Structure 1
């Protein structure tokens, strides 16, 4: 009897706590990203949509309208799959990116700096689907930085290279 009462009282409290945590996480936007923007590209760029922030705030519709490429590879977290999305170089070209250093920013506040030439050398894409299924926040999306890791094992199958496979990408800062 006591156990069932504790469960009856405790579960709603736990639920309220977790709902508050999830709601807080959903409203907190990392530095380098913008609320209600699919992908924010900022910094040393020649084309902006938000001059005050020196940023190009790309909508989902605009991003999905870009020509796509396919990368078939595995990652440390996924089996061999077909990833589809626009080339990183194409996205950077859309905003007239002038810098060669990038800081890739994820929704969970993870960020990593990388040389743009390094990523472009391998045909890096910004994937929005995996094996024909649209990526969601729960499944590495909405944008997952991807390159052909399996095709360049010596260069790309390293812990450092794996750190550039940023999922939940929401921002790119160009230096």
Structure 2
């Protein structure tokens, strides 16, 4: 009798653990809800969302992601600049993104496809600050896709410059 009872409890325990495991795997607590003005909307093949099937971010939410600073020259500035913002690959990881490309879309509807491979190989940032100041729309904000040009000379070419979209407010993961 004890052996049968023990087997029953073990079976029930395994079933309960399996149910808890399945429940926790299927429940997503998602991202925080933005408290400030939304500056970035991410859609496409992502598993973490906070607004229907998209992920929306305000400045505070982007700043809460692992930040990175890049000091580099660009074709658009007369001097070396210091850019700060989350690493693009950290954002993708945070959202459970899966895909081969990220389409970056600017306020003026300029759109460019960025290979995810670039974001994994290089410290590409979604810059929200330049020289210590938040970037306004007038200064290429709210988000400027910045590659570490000075660290990797192979990035100094037109193809990569075209991927460095500014005034970005949308990303689509394909």
- Structure 2 length-normalised TM: 0.75
2:107 aligns with: 107
**Alpha-carbon distance, 1:69 to partner:** 0.7
Match of 2:27 in 1: none
2:59 matched to 1:60? yes
Q: Report the RMSD for the aligned CA atoms in angstroms.
A: 1.2
1:111 and 1:160 map into 2 onto residues whose CA distance is 14
Q: Distance in 1 between matches of 2:88 and 2:120?
A: 7
Shift of 1:94: 1.5
Greater gyration radius: 2
Counterpart of 2:42 in structure 1 is: 41
What is residue 166 of structure 2 aligned with on the other side?
A: 167
Please tell me whether the aligned partners of residues 104 and 113 of structure 2 are also in contact (alpha carbons under 8 angstroms). Answer: yes
Per-residue CA shift, 1:70-116, capped at 9, x if unaligned?
Answer: 11101110121111111001111121101121101111110101211
Which consecutive unaligned segments of at least 5 residues does structure 2 have?
1-36
Partner of residue 6, structure 1: none
Alignment of 1:14-93 (within 5 A): 36-51=37-52, 54-78=53-77, 79-93=79-93
Tell me the residue number matched to 1:127.
127
Aligned length: 137
Structure 2 counterpart of 1:15: none
Distance in 2 between the 1:62 and 1:114 partners?
23
1:100-139 CA-to-partner distances (Å, cap 9, x unmatched) read 2110111111010121111331110111111112211000
| Structure 1, unaligned runs of 5 or more | 1-35
CA–CA distance in structure 2, aligned partners of residues 156 and 115 of structure 1: 13
Q: CA separation in 2, counterparts of 1:174 and 1:117?
A: 13
Q: CA deviation at 1:60?
A: 2.2
Conserved? CA contact 2:62–2:85, under 8 Å: no
1:140 paired residue number: 140
TM-score relative to the length of structure 1: 0.74
Report runs of 4+ in structure 1 exceeding 3 Å deviation: none
- What is the alpha-carbon distance in structure 2 between the residues aligned to residue 126 and residue 158 of structure 1? 19
Structure-2 separation of matches of 1:59 and 1:75: 26
